[in-house]
Amino acid sequence: MSDARPEVYVSTDVETDGPIPGANSMLSFASIAYDGEGRELGSFAVNLETLPEAAPDARAMEWWRTQPEAWAACRQDLRPPADAMADYDRWLQSLRGRPVFVAYPLLFDMMFVYWYQIRFVGKSPFGHSGIDIKTMAYAALGLRRYRDATKRSMPAEWFGKTPHSHVALDDARGQGELFFNIRKALQGAHRTG
């Protein structure tokens, strides 16, 4: 039996101290929920305490030293991961629809969120449903090489008003704007093709 609830697109950005969950920690993350028309339904943002068994990656920390404002933003009002993920799960469950994870890049952001969900809540309402914005751009631009689908190759009108600041809430909102603009371009191409 299929679930007739509408999809809710959950644009999510994570900030971490290294490349893999468990060995490294998720420092902060934010999600913006959108309905199918691109209207914002709500948001969730949290800064996390690091995992006691994890250690920061040297290269990641070197990069963070070049981002002092973003670092300061993600290191205030820290919460234990178990509490934060339980609140996030409640927020996702409160959405009136089936959540679909949306990210740029999907693999990195969803890997961290999913790992934390399974570890601290035991489940993920996303299941394995996720949309990679970079792959959408690759398809919309008709590129031959996936690695050519960079933000530099994307039309300026695809980007919204929200600047990319490496603050999770800003970046989640900016990714949501990008997602809906690319989706609109793809739907327009489908209608005319």
| DSSP track, 66-95 | T-HHHHHHHTSSEE-HHHHHHHHHHHHHHS
- Domain presence at residue 113: yes
In a domain, residue 2? The reply is no
Tally the domains of the chain. 1
pLDDT of 193 above 60: no
- Does residue 166 have an active-site annotation? yes
Q: Is the pLDDT of residue 56 over 60?
A: yes
Confidence (pLDDT) at 86:
98
Residue 169's nearest CA partner among 1, 7, 14 is 14
pLDDT mean across residues, the chain? 95
Tell me the pLDDT tens digit for each residue of 99-114: 999 999 999 999 999 9
Decide: 49 and 76 in contact? Cβ < 8 Å. no
pLDDT band at 189 (very low <50, low <70, confident <90, very high): low
CATH of the domain at 110: 3.30.420.10
Tokens standing for 76?
């205030």
Q: What is the pLDDT of residue 1?
A: 54
Q: Establish if 58 belongs to a structural domain.
A: yes
In this predicted structure, what is the pLDDT of residue 181?
96
The predicted pLDDT at position 191 comes to 61
End-to-end CA distance of the chain, in Å?
Answer: 33
Q: Is 128 within the bounds of a domain?
A: yes
Query: Which pLDDT band, with edges at 50, 70 and 90, does 2 fall under?
Result: low
DSSP line for 93-105:
HHSSSEEEEEETT
Residue 191 belongs to what H/E stretch? helix 168-192
What is the extent of the structural domain holding 116?
7-192
Confidence of residue 188 (pLDDT cuts 50, 70, 90): confident
CB 70 within 8 A of CB 102: no
Quote the CA–CA distance of 151 and 154 in Å, as a whole number. 5
Within-domain flag for 30: yes
pLDDT at position 5: 85
1 found inside a domain = no
Kindly tell me if the per-residue pLDDT of 40 is higher than 80: yes
User: Could you tell me where the DSSP H helices lie in 32-167?
Assistant: 58-64, 68-74, 81-94, 106-120, 133-141
Q: Does 159 reside within a domain?
A: yes
Instruction: Check 128, 164, 166, 190 and give the catalytic one.
Output: 166
